[in-house]
Structures are given as structure tokens and as C-alpha cells.
A and B are shown apart, each in its own frame.
Chain A
Amino acid sequence: MKKHIIYSFICFLFLGNIFGQQTPAPKQTTDYSIEGATAHLGNGKIIENSLIMFSNGKISFVGSANSRIARKGKVINAKGKHIYPGFIVANSSLGLAEIDAVRATRDFDEVGSMLPHIRSIIAYNTESKIIETMRPNGVLLAQITPRGGIISGTSSVVQFDAWNWQDAVVKLDEGIHINWPNIFSYGRSSFGGARSLKPNEKYSENITKIKEYFEAAKRYLASDKKTKNLPFEAVKNLFNGTQKIFIHVNGAKNIVDAIDTFKTLNITNIVIVEGKEAEKVANLLKKNNIPVILKRAHRLPGNEDEDYDLPFRNAKILSDAGILVGLGMGGDMERMSSRNLPFYAGTYAAYGLDKEKAVQIITENNAKILGIDDKVGTLEVGKNATIFISEGDALDMSTNNVTDAFIDGRKISLETHQTKLWKRYSNKYKNQ
């Protein structure tokens, strides 16, 4: 015990003195058995008084604590606590900017409009101080997405405890992101007046441009490719279905147009991002197995006359319509707010969605949508031991209190730049 304190003290000194991040945990060598917690499996089911075991980075047992089975390795008594698969945030730009107002730290929006060859992963900063603040809330994985333009670029999925981006990758270059044109555009009505929304005269023209771009790519890919075309090379996996197209689109008409356009192009591995009014075209989405990554719940209704709680009810509405629903970020303060992901899910639960379904949205569903459900997203034998334990219900801010977190079985630090300052200044007053 004494040794432990000394170790912690040394560790604290060390960490406190470097302007840096949490040191990534070493590979799992000790087995873990977590006993007694309510296990939220991520697939909509729970096991009360559960036993979860994992070794070598993989989950080896998921079942009841009543099972007469040998506990392996270190046993954590988690009675009264909750255990979850690591939460996954989709459509995030974490690690691509550190401080919004400081231009030098912004790396999420490249010049140009058709940039499928732009890859987020190489700019992904594993040592971002913002990323480490995700972990104490249970958010352990993310899709790192570039922003801007029409085709923003290519995203990758990462986990949040790595020395560099190569180590962080869970799935490399898994999707290409496109911002679908809007049927309305903003124009300044009068000098200095409020902006006003007017029908976008160039809507169909813009769609044609997108279509022609991909048709040109298709022709190129079918050609002998004597002269390399980097952007066109970058979209090749869209056509063979191994890469997904994430269409950032709002409005029933736009969604229909978008799906129609890409189906005509034979690009069928489609994900809708944001998807305002997706419920109006639920049948089309269901028929084509197209999931929707919702924008975070904590936002204002889009129109003055909209129900105050429409953004809160969104998940319930889509889920009832039989659509696979995920949850992502985007918009103002998206990076620092990503840690609130569990509470967005909690809000959906408050407004009609079953609580376990709300968990499912940020675990299994997001994993499926991002194509990483073979590795993460549920508490299942054989999956990565990317899990965490919370003192209470992790979707509720008053009870979310992560005591232990593991990524691939590695017990990760829950310290952050912020906890260090907290401790430093708490100690300052204690010692005064």
C-alpha cells in the first residue's frame, strides 16, 4: 500500500511537470474479472450482478456473477456499479483542432471542394488534451472526420489511448464524407440585417456536379489509369462497397435526392449523417438498409414553431420507424462537447427511448455504422476489452462517474489536464 502511494506520488510529480498527456497504458498482461456490476451489453440487454472477464485484450467471459467459474487474474468488485462497452462518438473532429480560436491549431478543413483524398488520420493528434477528457466520461473511441467543402475527405476510426495515430487506428480510411447541398441558402437580406434563408437556385446544379464528379471517377477507374488521378483513386473503395459514403444531409427531399444519386452511381454503402426529417423517408432508408447518425441532442429546434423537445425526441422517432440510429457530433464546440455523448443518449432516453436502446446508440449501433462491430461496441466474448466501469448510470450526469476504463484490455489513466489542475489547486487550498 505504501509502495502504491509512493508510486502514485512519483507518478503525480512526473505527470504534473510535463506539459503533456497521459502516458498510454502498456499491453494487457494481467487478466481481469469484474464482478457484481450491472452489465449494459450494448445490444439492448443487461445482466444484473454480472461477471465480465478479459485477457490479452479480448473479452473472455460475459455472464452472471452467480456462475461457478474461476475468476481470472485481478478481480474488481463492482457491486452496485455499472459496466459498459466503451462509448463511440461518430462524426467527430477530435484531435484535428486544439483551441478553436487559435488558427495554428485548426487542422480540420482543407482548401478545395472535392477532397476525397484528404485523410483525417494523419493529422489526428493522439496527445490532444481534449481527447483525454473523453475518457473519464466513458467515451473511448471516435470516428475522426474532416470538415468543409463538398467532399470533405476520408475518415478513420480510432481509440483514445495511443502513442501515435498509427497505434490509434481501429479502422483506417473507413469512410468518405460528403456535404449534400441544401435546398435553401443563406443570403443577407439588407445591410446589416439578420441573415435570411431563401430557396437555393443552384441546388440541382450542385447535385449534377456531384454526380458528374463520381461518374468521371468511375470512368477513370475503368480506364488504364496511365496518368494517376489521386482524388479518383481515393474513391475507388466506394464503388466496391468496402468503404462507406457518409452523406451529411438534412431535409426529406435532400435525403431522397442523395440516396437516389448514389444508388444510380452504384455506391450503396450509405450512411446518412444528421438527417433532419429522416423520419419522413423512413421507408426508403429501411428498404436500403441505410442508418442515420444523429446530430447531438442538445441543440435548439430548427424552426420557431418546432416542438421544444423535437431534438430530444429525434432518436425515439427514428428508432420507432425501424431505422438503425447512431449518434455523432458536428457543429459549434463539437470537440470539447464530445465528452457529453452519454448525456445526449440519456436525453433521448428521457424523451421516450428505452434506456438500453439509448446505450445501444452509442455502442453497438455506432460500431455497426462505422463497421467496427466485429471488434467493439458490445460486451461479447471475443471482442476487444474496451470497456469501463461507472459508479452509477453513465447516461446521467449526476451519476456518471468512471472508476476504471480499459482499452483493448489495457487499464488506461483517467487523469487529464483538467484533473491535474483540479488536484493541484485543491491541494493549494488544503495546504494553506
Chain B
Amino acid sequence: MKKLLLLLLLNVSVFYSQEYFPTNTGVKTTENEIVAFTNATINISPTKTIKNGTLVIQNKKVINVGKNVNIPKGTRIIDLKGKLIYPSFIDVYSTFGIKKPKRTPRRRGRVPVYDATRKGYYWNDHIRPETDAFSLFNFNKKEAKELVNLGFGVVNTHSDDGIMQGNGMLVSLSSNSSNAHRILEEVSGNYLSFSKSSKSTQAYPTSRMGAIALLRQTYMDADWYQKGNAKNTDLSLEALNKNKKLTQIFNAGSYLDALRADKIGDQFNIQYTILGSGNEFERIDEIKATNAKFIIPVNFRKAYDVSNQFWAEQISLHDMRNWNQEPANPAMLAKKGISFALTTHNLKSKKDFTKNLQKAITYGLSTSDALASLTTVPAEILGRTDIGNLNTGSYANFLITSGNIFDKKTTVYENWILGSQNIIKPIKKDIFGKYTLTTNGKTYDVSFTEKGKKVKADIKLGDKKLKSNFSFIDNWIQLTINDANEFVQLVGKVTDTKTIEGTGKNSFGNAITWSALKNDNSISLRKKDKKKTKTAPIVQAVSFPNIGFGNYTKPKQETILIKNATIWTGENDEVFENSDILLKDGKITKIGKNLKSSRAKIIDGTGKYVTAGIIDEHSHIGTSAVNEAGHNSTAEVTIEDVINPDDVNLYRNLAGGVTSIQILHGSANPIGGRSAIIKLKWGENAENLLYKNTPKFIKFALGENVKQSNWGDRNVIRFPQTRMGVEQVYIDYFQRAKEYDAKKKSGQPYRKDIELETLAEIINKERFISCHSYIQSEINMLMKVAEQFNFNINTFTHILEGYKVADKMKKHGAGGSTFSDWWAYKYEVNDAIPYNAAIMHKQGVTVAINSDDAEMSRRLNQEAAKTMKYGGLTAQEAWRMVTINPAKLLHLDKRTGSLIEGKDADVVLWSGNPLSVYSKAEKTIVDGTIYFDLEKDLEKRKAIKAEKNKLIKMMLEEKLGGAETQKPSKKEHQLFHCDTE
């Protein structure tokens, strides 16, 4: 035994020593054994299979493969008759052997950190491209074994930490080896994400849009650095530049973030490979259009436990649908021709991988696509031709299986990695079938069948069934037969499955022999699937967005003629009674009496009102982030980067007659982020919601929010903490922007700075400010600062003390966008009055009524009506405050905001006077397309109910069928306001 152990040790050390290393354990030998695997079905690649083939390996590599292969003398031959060979799998998104750094614990009362903790690196701690996987790598045998058992041979591992995470490395999972051999490439793939590093608590970025802006700025700085312009050393930027040529792998997550990541790449000519989340099917066309390769997790959610009705009601249709649709994601990606690799990433338990993969196949993924996603595609992502296939010259990483590798019934026997054997399940002789067993003068009928992972034996003497005990381990049969209370014990090793022979004892303890002969015509009795092939699962159709009230088909632009309505044009107090309006090609074509159009869809407007769509100057719906609070100026971020077209509040706004909104950055800092101005084209993707040639806006803010007055006692270190400091922030930034712009225009080389570029746009009157404001003193201040730099404040938003300085605003040329009646929620709104809009209006200021609130925005018509109560404005004056006035403030008045021939057909049909509490929007039209229709809404409600019922039934079936379920949960729909952190 000792000798054997020694031999083994020797063997290992010889085989895996590095050739030029001296040896002091004996005679130096070089392992060069050739192994041939014969008679196997060899899947050289997902598209190339040979039957009865031979695979010859030597020295970690395949040296020959084919049907008629010359096997050199002295070759060790392994007969794999009836077995299959596949290339081992590859996981390109792995953290194998690299521990995630521990998060710096968050202590109560912790003071926020604004500065970087490192010197000689980039200014932001979350940019760590210098991180090198190899320096953190520690081969983990346990983890390796788990992956090897799942069929993986090679992984590309990295440290999943930070926004720029550094380079990965390509490593095989060979446990009986050392890093000297198993590391295939020390620097392989460069990794990124939107998440901050656990190693630092530096505040910036606090938001998705901040992370996006930071990535952009880092790329620009890397370019500047590479050109030799920087005066200091920056190891981060050096690493970034050095690893530019590597595959860039972006851990994006949801489909929305995948599209966002790809957009960043487009700007810098980088095609990221994107790690998705499994919901790519929800916008598959957009995903396809990225041209990116994807890495897709297979973490399908369990069915929700809907047996408790009260719980069941909390689950959204979206979540229910996702349970049903997620397993079809890989199939849908494949069908669309999107190249993707599968990964074990994000699985709670890696063991679920095989099961979920099989599920994906049940849901339509072809086995060849499945195999490609685990072999050739990941290899291609990493730019390797020597893994993921079994061509001559490739690494000898392969699996030996009993059947199709994606079949539930298949046993994976071995996973060879770098030509070294890893046994997952020992190969057993196939003894399934009927045998005639003769022993002790008797003849028994024996049948061996499969029961789970074991083999079961049934013994009959004539027609009588006998009790027995049976085991089959390492090809050894142990069989005890109870024949009329006489015990016959048999043992034997299976070498030939046609005739099995062995020895034993009869009930007297006497030695006996036995033999079992396979009945020739007995077919293999491996249990066939009783339920044959299940019918393909029903997958619910995807709507846009994929939630309740989404559209299955995108609404189409129509020619629409609304007849005999009261029309408020929103211009010059114009009211046309009993008149018609024609909408064609997305534009308002004509307003008048007795209009005719042969092709138009006719809508009877009798007793109803038609107006332009409502415009909300100040909204925070339809976005995934609202504040970047990490700095006191964040002009570099833009809401356009984080539009969320799937927010149901967009639809609810349509139901309130809203057609356009400005999604503003929050008020966490004096200089906030850039706005997104969108039309509420429900169902369109983020890009299509945006106005073409959007007017450029940015959010500024004053007062308590920017000086963090209500942020708690620990937030007292970020400058500014007083209104006095706020002024200096502006002057400082504008001064620098001015100098920056001058340098840029002078033709000298300059470091491109997105933040200063944006501020220079303001000075150059190309971008307009909408400034969150309350108190008169600071309103006055900002106008003075602007005048100092020779531009105007376009809009003061909220502007609750605007009535105190309305004359000054008028003189300066600023507009006001205010609440109808909010006040008293903080100290600075103590003097906010609902008469504000009326006073400003009477002083000649362009005034809008805004919402800043997902609920109020769907009743802006009512909020406008309050200006009639508070301040006595006329109905037409009030109405303009939510239509043409905000359009003017947003520089959109040439396109929308009133009913004038030639303008966009953004039109609402109201059940009655639109300023009355008793009226509701019946149809809301954007660009000539009906996006909200009260009647269709009722149909949608019915459809939601029906689909939920159907899915609940499916989930109940799953539960009653014994499947594991999960308790319902519901993500809170985060509603943003200005001061949402």
C-alpha cells in the first residue's frame, strides 16, 4: 500500500513537474503517454460529430481525432463503445478561486467619504483596471470539483468587484496539477460592471447614471494619458490602456443595463461582451441590435407558491410571466441569432445548472445551440481556438457520457482536463436486460432495470417472484436470493455483459458457481420515459413593456378625424365649438367645421373636448435613477442614460392626458445632471421615447436639499452647507468652464471633461437650466451669477417664492414651473402660496404647473384648475399652464403644446371640460398614434385578470406536482422625487 502511494506521488510529480526543473526524488522521466479513446461517438464541435471514432491525446492536447486514425504503438487504449465524447464546458464569467473582497462595514453615523483613498491610481476608488486576477488567485479544489462535475473544464476567472474590475485569467480546473500547468492564460479578458467596489466607501457614483458617466470620463482620461499629456503617474489608466485589446466583458445585468453598457461601448469603439440577467427576451430586437455576444445565466426562478390566495394577489403579472418565460430566454436568443455563452454565474446553488440547462432545452433551446453556448461561443469570446472543441491541437478537455449530454437520463462518467482523467461516475457495464441465471441446480429469470441512479434486480423462479438483495458497484454483482427461505448468495465481476459468471454460497455455506446468460432478443429494459415526450411548455407572449397594460403589437399611427367637439387650441384663448380636427402622418392637419377624410378613423367628439396633450416640466417617472449625489456638481450625468420605458407610471400619465415630460435629475446638488425629454409612446424602447433632437436641459438646485439640511446629522462635510457656499460652487464651476471652453476653442490640446463640456454648453446658450428653487434670496443670486457669465436661467422649477421676485424674473427672462398648492413640508416652503402661479403669470412670467410626483402628474389638468381658485385666472390661462407654457419653457412650442396645424399630433380627447374634476381623458394621442384609449384599457384589465388566472393555475399545477416553490415577494416600485437619495 505504501509503495502504491509512493508510486502515485511519483507519478503525479513526474507528470506535472516543469520540464526544466531539477528533480531530487529519483530518476527524471518525462511523461509522454499517448491515450486513445476508441469506438466512441465524438462531438468534435457542436456541428461536427463522428461515429465510431477515435480520439488520441498526448501531453494535454488532442493529437489526432477521426474515424480511421493511426494509433501509435504503445498507446493506452480505452474502448468507449456506446459512449459519447464532448468537449468540456467553458465558463467565461467566473470568480473561481478569487474571493470577493469584504465590504467595508457600514457603521451608523458614518460620515460619507468623498475623496479617493488611493494615490497613484485613478481619482475614483471604484475604477480598478489594474486589478490582476492571477495575483488574487488561489486554486480551490472543492469549487473545482463542483464545476468539473457539472462538465466544466476551463473557466475565465476574475475579481468581480468595482466598476472597472481589472483583467481575468484563463484557468483549467485540473486538480491534479499545479498553476504551472493549469493556467492557460494569465491575462485573459478585461472586466467591468455598474457596481461599486466593496473595498471603498467613496460616495461617487451613487447612481447608475453616475457609473455610466464615470466610465465615459475614465476612457477619455485614458486616451489623454496614453497620448502622454498627464503630468502624473496613474497606474489605473496605464492598466486600462495596456488591456484595451483584451475581450471586454461587462457585467450589466438586466436587459436595460445591457443596452446602456453597449451604448457606452459604441461611443468608444468597444464591443463589450455582455453578462445579462436572463430577461433579454423582453426586448430581444434591441438586444440583437447591440451586435454584442452575451453571457447568460440560467437562474430561472421557482414557481411562486400561490396556494395562499392573499399572497398570490401580491405577485405582479410581470413576475408571474417571468417565471413562465425565463426558461425560454436561451431559446429565444438562439432563434434571434444572438450569439451567447451560458454561465453558472448568479446561480444560488451551482448544482441547479444542469437541471436548469435541461429546462432551457425543454423550452426550445436546441442541443447543438446549448453545446455551442458552453464550448465554441465562450472560446470565441475569449479568442481561443484551442478550447471548446476537440480538433487536433486543441486541449484534451472532454467529457465521456452514456448518451446525449443534455438528456436527463444521461450519465456523465468522466471529465478529462488537460489530458488528465477526472472520474465523475465510474463507467459501469451495461447489464440492463433479461438474463437466465443458473446455479445450484436451479434456473432463475433475472431482469436488471434502472431505478434512479441504481440498478434494480427482479428475480423469478418460474412465475414466482422471489425476494432478493442486489448491488452493482464497480462492476461487481452482489446478489442474495431468498428461495423459499433458503438463502443463495452470489458474487461476480461483470466482464462480459452477455455471459456473467461468478461464485457463491448456498444456504448450507457450500461454495457454488453461477452463470447468467443474456437473453438475446431481450431488448434493453432501461426505463423508458413513461410520460413520453412532454408537450412543449406554453410560453406566454411578450408584451412591450412586458408587464400588465403592455402592448403586444405596437400601436400604429393613424389618420384620425375627431368630429363635433369643443376644441381648445391653447393659443390666444381660442375655443372652437362643434368643430373637427384632422390628424394625419403624426401631425395636426386641419381644424375646422365639417371636415372630411375618406381614410380617417372617425371619432365622435359630441359633448367632448379636444386639447393638446399635457406637458409635465418636472417629472421623475420612467427612469432608473434620479440623483447622482456623490459630488456637488454632476453635470456629467444624464437621465437619458437611464430611461426606463417599462415604468407603468408612463401609462398612468397617458391616462391623465399627459403626452410629454421632462425627466429631471433630482436636487441633491447645486449642479445636477442633464434631463431627458420624452414623449409617452408607451411600449417603445428608451431611445424611441426621446425627442429627436431633444432640446438640451440640465437640472440645477438651490436651498435645503443641496446643502443637505434634511439628510441627517452625519451629512455635514460636503461643500456647500450654506446658501453662501452655493453661490461659490456656481461661480467656481462656470469660471472653470469658461476657461476650459476658451482653451478648447484655441486649438490647444485639452483634457476632455464631460462635466465642463456640459457647463460650457450652458455658457454658450446651447443648454438650458431648470433650477429647483424656493427662497427668493437664492433665486436672485442665481440670476446674478448667470448674468455675470452672460447667459439666462431658462426655468426656475418649483420656484415657490417666485411671486416675491416675479418682476426680477421677468426682467431676467426666466420662466417659472411651480406646484399648484404644495407647501409646509420643509422650512423653506413656509412662504409657499398657491397664488404663486397667478402672481408670476400676471407679471408676465411664462408659468407652468408641474408635478414632481408620479401621482400628481396624472391629474395635472386638475392642478392647473387650482390657479382659477387661487388667484382667479381664466380657464384658458389655467389650461396654458400645463400645455403651451411648459412647451415654451422646454423649447418645444414649435412642435407641441397647442393645437395648430402643422404641429405634432399630441392630442387628448376629454369626456368634458378638461379643467373640471369630473372629466377624464378618453383618448390620448401622441404623434398621431393612440397610446391610451379608455375602452382598450378596459379590455386590458380583463386580459390581465385572465392571464393571471392562467398563470396561477400553471403554478398550482407545479406545486401540486411536487415542485419546489417560493414564497411570493414583490419589489417595491420605487417612486422618485427631487430629494430621493
A195 to B710, CA, bound (A): 22
Asked if B651 is at the interface of the complex by the 8 Å CB criterion, the answer is: yes
Given contacts A99-B824, A183-B310, A350-B919, contact A304 B973 (CB under 8 A): yes
- Closest residue on chain A to residue B967 by CB atoms: A199
Q: From A251, A300, A399, A418, give the contact of B835 (CB < 8 A).
A: A418
Q: Mark B27-71, 1 if CB is under 8 A from A, else 0.
A: 000000000000000000000000000000000000000000000
Does A196 lie within 8 Å of B972, measured CB to CB?
yes
Q: From A189, A300, A429, give the contact of B652 (CB < 8 A).
A: A300
- Residues of the A chain whose Cβ atoms lie less than 8 Å from the Cβ of B842: 426, 429
Asked if A262 is at the interface of the complex by the 8 Å CB criterion, the answer is: no
Surface stretch bound by A, among B474-482, B690-698, B719-727, B802-810: B802-810
Shortest Cβ distance from A3 into chain B, in angstroms? Answer: 27
A387 to B839, CA, bound (A): 30
A396 to B919, CA, bound (A): 10
Within 8 A of B (CB), among A195-217: 195-199
Given contacts A299-B855, A398-B878, contact A336 B823 (CB under 8 A): yes
Within 8 A of B (CB), among A274-311: 298-301, 303-305, 307-309
A333 to B819, CA, bound (A): 14
Q: Mark B701-740, 1 if CB is under 8 A from A, else 0.
A: 0001000011000000000000000000000000000000
Does A340 lie within 8 Å of B821, measured CB to CB?
yes
Surface stretch bound by A, among B390-398, B459-467, B863-871: B863-871
Q: How many A-B residue pairs have CB under 8 A?
A: 163
Within 8 A of A (CB), among B800-834: 803-804, 806-807, 821-827, 830-831, 833-834
Does B310 lie within 8 Å of A252, measured CB to CB?
yes
Does A398 lie within 8 Å of B916, measured CB to CB?
yes
Does A401 lie within 8 Å of B831, measured CB to CB?
no
- Residues of the A chain whose Cβ atoms lie less than 8 Å from the Cβ of B856: 298
Asked if B632 is at the interface of the complex by the 8 Å CB criterion, the answer is: no
Asked if A432 is at the interface of the complex by the 8 Å CB criterion, the answer is: yes
Given contacts A197-B314, A198-B969, A425-B804, contact A350 B918 (CB under 8 A): yes
- Closest residue on chain B to residue A128 by CB atoms: B824
Shortest Cβ distance from A185 into chain B, in angstroms? Answer: 11
A7 to B655, CA, bound (A): 50
Does B826 lie within 8 Å of A102, measured CB to CB?
yes
Does A429 lie within 8 Å of B806, measured CB to CB?
yes
Q: From A100, A303, A308, A350, give the contact of B314 (CB < 8 A).
A: A303
Does B969 lie within 8 Å of A304, measured CB to CB?
no
- Residues of the B chain whose Cβ atoms lie less than 8 Å from the Cβ of A100: 824-826
Surface stretch bound by B, among A75-83, A164-172, A240-248, A341-349: A341-349
Does A194 lie within 8 Å of B310, measured CB to CB?
no
A99 to B828, CA, bound (A): 9
- Residues of the B chain whose Cβ atoms lie less than 8 Å from the Cβ of A309: 655, 920
Asked if A184 is at the interface of the complex by the 8 Å CB criterion, the answer is: yes
Does A396 lie within 8 Å of B918, measured CB to CB?
yes
Q: From B549, B827, B917, give the contact of A99 (CB < 8 A).
A: B827
Within 8 A of A (CB), among B869-927: 869-871, 875, 878, 913, 915-920
- Residues of the A chain whose Cβ atoms lie less than 8 Å from the Cβ of B858: 308
Q: From B314, B548, B827, B834, give the contact of A102 (CB < 8 A).
A: B827
Most B CB contacts (10 A, CB to CB) among A198, A298, A422 go to A422
- Residues of the B chain whose Cβ atoms lie less than 8 Å from the Cβ of A195: 971-972
A127 to B944, CA, bound (A): 50
A290 to B794, CA, bound (A): 54
**How would you classify the secondary structure of chain B's contact residues: helix, strand, loop or mixed?**
loop
- Residues of the B chain whose Cβ atoms lie less than 8 Å from the Cβ of A335: 824
A426 to B648, CA, bound (A): 41
Within 8 A of A (CB), among B908-965: 913, 915-920, 937, 941, 944, 948
- Closest residue on chain A to residue B826 by CB atoms: A101
- Residues of the A chain whose Cβ atoms lie less than 8 Å from the Cβ of B843: 429
Does A349 lie within 8 Å of B855, measured CB to CB?
no
A339 to B824, CA, bound (A): 13
- Closest residue on chain B to residue A102 by CB atoms: B827
- Closest residue on chain A to residue B972 by CB atoms: A195
Given contacts A101-B827, A336-B824, contact A398 B314 (CB under 8 A): no
A305 to B709, CA, bound (A): 37
Asked if B317 is at the interface of the complex by the 8 Å CB criterion, the answer is: yes
Does B548 lie within 8 Å of A432, measured CB to CB?
no
Shortest Cβ distance from A413 into chain B, in angstroms? Answer: 17
Shortest Cβ distance from A200 into chain B, in angstroms? Answer: 10
- Residues of the A chain whose Cβ atoms lie less than 8 Å from the Cβ of B804: 425
Q: From A305, A351, A397, give the contact of B548 (CB < 8 A).
A: A305
Asked if B751 is at the interface of the complex by the 8 Å CB criterion, the answer is: no
- Residues of the A chain whose Cβ atoms lie less than 8 Å from the Cβ of B937: 307-308
Asked if B968 is at the interface of the complex by the 8 Å CB criterion, the answer is: yes
Does A298 lie within 8 Å of B970, measured CB to CB?
no
Shortest Cβ distance from A259 into chain B, in angstroms? Answer: 16
A307 to B548, CA, bound (A): 10
Does B917 lie within 8 Å of A421, measured CB to CB?
no
Does A303 lie within 8 Å of B316, measured CB to CB?
yes
Q: Mark A248-260, 1 if CB is under 8 A from B, else 0.
A: 0001110000000
- Closest residue on chain B to residue A251 by CB atoms: B310
A401 to B918, CA, bound (A): 17
Asked if B765 is at the interface of the complex by the 8 Å CB criterion, the answer is: no
Does B549 lie within 8 Å of A298, measured CB to CB?
no
Asked if B859 is at the interface of the complex by the 8 Å CB criterion, the answer is: yes
Q: Mark A303-326, 1 if CB is under 8 A from B, else 0.
A: 111011100000000000000000
A333 to B853, CA, bound (A): 12
Shortest Cβ distance from B163 into chain A, in angstroms? Answer: 14
Does A425 lie within 8 Å of B803, measured CB to CB?
yes
Does A395 lie within 8 Å of B655, measured CB to CB?
no
A418 to B819, CA, bound (A): 14
Does B944 lie within 8 Å of A305, measured CB to CB?
yes
- Residues of the B chain whose Cβ atoms lie less than 8 Å from the Cβ of A343: 862, 917
Does B547 lie within 8 Å of A305, measured CB to CB?
yes
- Residues of the A chain whose Cβ atoms lie less than 8 Å from the Cβ of B973: 194, 304
Q: From B807, B866, B920, B948, give the contact of A305 (CB < 8 A).
A: B948
A186 to B970, CA, bound (A): 9
- Residues of the B chain whose Cβ atoms lie less than 8 Å from the Cβ of A301: 652
Asked if A269 is at the interface of the complex by the 8 Å CB criterion, the answer is: no
Within 8 A of A (CB), among B556-610: none
Q: From B311, B649, B971, give the contact of A194 (CB < 8 A).
A: B971
Asked if A98 is at the interface of the complex by the 8 Å CB criterion, the answer is: yes
Asked if A157 is at the interface of the complex by the 8 Å CB criterion, the answer is: no
- Residues of the A chain whose Cβ atoms lie less than 8 Å from the Cβ of B862: 343, 397
Asked if B533 is at the interface of the complex by the 8 Å CB criterion, the answer is: no
Within 8 A of B (CB), among A134-160: none
Shortest Cβ distance from A178 into chain B, in angstroms? Answer: 20
Asked if B25 is at the interface of the complex by the 8 Å CB criterion, the answer is: no
Given contacts A186-B972, A308-B652, contact A347 B917 (CB under 8 A): yes
- Closest residue on chain B to residue A201 by CB atoms: B967
Shortest Cβ distance from A39 into chain B, in angstroms? Answer: 20
Does B871 lie within 8 Å of A199, measured CB to CB?
no
Asked if A130 is at the interface of the complex by the 8 Å CB criterion, the answer is: yes
Q: From A101, A191, A304, A351, give the contact of B547 (CB < 8 A).
A: A304
Given contacts A305-B948, A340-B821, contact A422 B833 (CB under 8 A): yes
Shortest Cβ distance from A33 into chain B, in angstroms? Answer: 27
Asked if A120 is at the interface of the complex by the 8 Å CB criterion, the answer is: no
A-B contact pairs, 19 of them (CB 8 A): A101-B704, A102-B827, A129-B830, A130-B824, A183-B311, A197-B972, A199-B311, A304-B973, A305-B549, A305-B948, A307-B941, A333-B822, A350-B919, A398-B917, A418-B835, A421-B833, A422-B870, A425-B803, A426-B835
Q: Give the interface of B toward A (CB within 8 A).
A: 103, 308, 310-311, 314, 316-318, 547-549, 648-649, 651-652, 655, 704, 709-710, 803-804, 806-807, 821-827, 830-831, 833-835, 839, 842-843, 854-856, 858-859, 862, 865-866, 868-871, 875, 878, 913, 915-920, 937, 941, 944, 948, 967-975
Given contacts A102-B826, A305-B944, A401-B869, 12 further A-B contacts (CB under 8 A): A99-B830, A198-B968, A300-B855, A305-B547, A307-B937, A335-B824, A336-B823, A343-B862, A347-B917, A418-B823, A425-B803, A425-B804
